[in-house]
Amino acid sequence: MKRMVIFASLLIIAVIVAVELCHAEYGDIVLGKKMESMQKAGVKPVMFPHWFHRIRFKCKVCHEDIFILQRGANDINMNAIMNGEFCGKCHNGTIAWEPLYCDRCHSWGGPVPPYATAPTTTPATTK
Ligand code: HEC
Ligand code: HEC
Ligand code: HEC
């Protein structure tokens, strides 16, 4: 009986991990580290359509020159985007539309899913 319970728990964990991995690679990513300033500016959290981008660009275009490959690990702000960093590397009016249409990116209506690591701690991957 005890064995069955352990086996069942392992199975559940495996399924959760698999779902998480799929989500990480293919799903949309909600960016809401800067919730406070976004609320002040009256914009919603950002919904980044990862799949939409990954079918158009190779992973290495973005990872890890532009974005560290971990949700929440990048310290993104609008000044940087307007100055051609992060999303602004492409959303600059040349490769893709300019970052003037706030709602196209700030389009997530739901709650921000929790981050794997506390957003305030610096992950090991950063310098
Ligand atoms: C247009 C840029 C872009 C491309 C192309 C791209 N990604 Fe990403 N990726 C991102 C951004 C932005 C994030 C979120 C980073 C953050 O939250 O700070 C991310 C996050 C991730 C994450 C972490 C997700 C999580 O939940 O922690 C993984 C894994 C990932 N990407 C894998 C890939 C793979 C594999 C490819 C190629 C098949 C790819 N990415 C292509 C921009 C891109
Ligand atoms: C490597 C280049 C690149 C980067 C980096 C990039 N994008 Fe894009 N993005 C594009 C291109 C190209 C399009 C398509 C533009 C078009 O259809 O005119 C696009 C389209 C979009 C769309 C519209 C998707 C749709 O369904 O029409 C959204 C939303 C978006 N990007 C958000 C972001 C956000 C948020 C970031 C930063 C986290 C980002 N992008 C970073 C190239 C990029
Ligand atoms: C190309 C996509 C994109 C567009 C367009 C865009 N943003 Fe953002 N914005 C982001 C991303 C990504 C973040 C980082 C979110 C996070 O990590 O919490 C962000 C963060 C913010 C923040 C919080 C950080 C800071 O800089 O204070 C504010 C406020 C903000 N955006 C306002 C706006 C406004 C207002 C517009 C329209 C003029 C706009 N954004 C257009 C992608 C975009």
Whether ligand 3 lies within 6 angstroms of the CB of 43 is answered as yes
pTM more than 0.75: yes
Domains of the chain from N-terminus onward: 29-105 (3.90.10.10)
18: Cβ contacts below 8 Å, ≥ 6 apart: none
Task: Give the C-alpha distances (Å, rounded to integers) separating 116 from 24, 76, 108.
Answer: 12, 17, 19
- Please give the mean pLDDT across all residues of the chain: 84
What confidence score (pLDDT) does residue 58 get? 96
- For residue 59, give the ligand 1 atom closest to its CA: 37
d(CA 127, CA 124): 8
Q: Can you tell me the mean pLDDT for 52-74?
A: 96
Confidence of residue 10 (pLDDT cuts 50, 70, 90): low
pLDDT in tens, 76-105: 999 999 999 999 999 999 999 999 999 999
C-alpha 59 – ligand 3 centre gap (Å)? 22
Which residue from 29, 44, 82, 87 has its CB within 8 A of the most atoms of ligand 2, so it is best to mutate?
87
User: DSSP label at 101?
Assistant: -
Q: How does DSSP assign 42-98, residue by residue?
A: T-PPEEE-HHHHHTTS-HHHHTTTTS-SSTT-S---HHHHHTT-GGGGTBTTTSB--
Query: Is any atom of ligand 3 closer than 6 Å to the C-beta of 90?
Result: no
